[in-house]
Structure 1
């Protein structure tokens, strides 16, 4: 099995322009978001190649300066999946292509390892994505974002065998009760990583953008809207915290998480 990880990174983010080049202070010093995401990717076992996929020369020059391989993609790509499809066409021959979005530097290596193993074990699935059960602390963070009018993390609901039913930037399912920080909850945080079989990835850019993808701004919904199976692979935190950098307010939260994890050893 040959695995390629592509890290889509665009400068012109609507909510957070220049996000890949934002500096995050950690125990190992100041590093940009894209560098921390690349370091997370190269730590994954069983991967044959890691590339940064961008349409911006500022990101390209910075990524190459710290040693990353870069594939330039079209500025017309509407999302990371379309960018990964261009990478896969440029670098054919891989059995699985992983999309590690460039705003998820806290993604543990085992999330991606378990994701690839899950997709490989279910040949009927065309795309897989990890989901992480929220504890009360994570759920309360999602709810606080929504109350403040911020679009925070994405949640997922799935059925038997991990078959994805829906993904939303709202907090679903509705729980209607408070949770303490250490409580287990029925809400699953969608981790912003995807693993694709090449044929499904190649077909994706040719499908029209549907109403659900338009409303939610979630690229994986295009697969569901076209009747394709999305496999949700539950991953375990193993004491690690996970959060994505969606808004400027997320930067200090991620920095605090990195400091806390370093203190725990």
Structure 2
């Protein structure tokens, strides 16, 4: 089964304009843009046939072409990354069996997250798309709670039922827990990792569905699948000692750079 990775990137982010071109300093002191680090993460994934960046902005296109990425230009009317991935896949017009959406704000995504995700979708015929979830340790849960207490939207959490079928995703910390956890403790909260693997037919149908009330309230594109009765597989992945965080706010730059330094990521 052939696999395409699309990295959607837009300049006009409401929360963080110009985010794809923000520079991150690695452990060696080298500065690279967020989009370059995300592209490099995608390029390390095994079993992938093609990696492209999808954008509507010439500044992002020029930056990507400068470090050797293939770019697909998409329209300004795309309302989120999934719609941009759908347009890019249609533009390429190549018969891929699985299309992966690696959002351009997740440069710390390990290759095995995506490899496990693709394997999970292949193994579960009932699933129309799959997305990874990572059980939070106490330190991550505390960071999520701190963000919400300070009025910031940090990571997204996920809940799922039998067979790991997705039930809901939220920018709030769910499920509720009143316990306090030590930094290294395992918690009942799962951090949703912003990666998706779609069946092409499901991805192509997505843009034709209206935006529902839950997607509107949460601002989470994956809820459109649930609101339209589509089956989402939550694939549990292992951190293997790697820290993970997405760049959602300007304050996340220092947090991610600190993680890169601790993990000695260049």
TM-score normalised by structure 2 residue count: 0.98
1:98 aligns with 2:100: yes
1:84 aligns with 2:85: yes
1:196-225 deviation digits (Å, cap 9, x = unpaired) = 000000000000000000000000000000
> Does the residue aligned with 1:206 lie in a helix, a strand or coil?
coil
Query: Unaligned stretches of 5+ in structure 1?
Result: none
Q: Distance in 2 between matches of 1:121 and 1:99?
A: 19
- CA-CA distance at 1:18 after TM superposition: 0.1
2:147 aligned partner? 145
1:55-134 maps to which residues of 2 (within 5 A)? Answer: 55-91=56-92, 92-134=94-136
Q: Distance in 2 between matches of 1:179 and 1:144?
A: 14
- CA-CA distance at 1:87 after TM superposition: 1.1
Aligned-residue Cα RMSD (Å) equals 1.0
Q: Distance in 2 between matches of 1:30 and 1:183?
A: 33
TM-score normalised by structure 1 residue count: 0.99
2:180 aligned partner? 178
> Segments of 4+ in structure 1 off by > 2 A?
none
2:221 aligned partner? 219
> Does the residue aligned with 1:241 lie in a helix, a strand or coil?
coil
- CA-CA distance at 1:90 after TM superposition: 1.3
- CA-CA distance at 1:15 after TM superposition: 0.3
> Does the residue aligned with 1:129 lie in a helix, a strand or coil?
strand
- CA-CA distance at 1:88 after TM superposition: 1.1
1:21 aligns with 2:59: no
1:262 aligned partner? 264
Q: How many residues are aligned here?
A: 264
> Does the residue aligned with 2:11 lie in a helix, a strand or coil?
coil
Q: Distance in 1 between matches of 2:179 and 2:117?
A: 31
1:78-120 deviation digits (Å, cap 9, x = unpaired) = 0000000001111220000000000000000000000000001
> Does the residue aligned with 1:130 lie in a helix, a strand or coil?
strand
1:6 aligned partner? 6
1:190 aligns with 2:192: yes
Query: Unaligned stretches of 5+ in structure 2?
Result: none
**Larger deviation: 101-110 or 84-93?**
84-93
> Does the residue aligned with 1:262 lie in a helix, a strand or coil?
coil
1:63-89 deviation digits (Å, cap 9, x = unpaired) = 000000000001000000000000111
1:252 aligned partner? 254
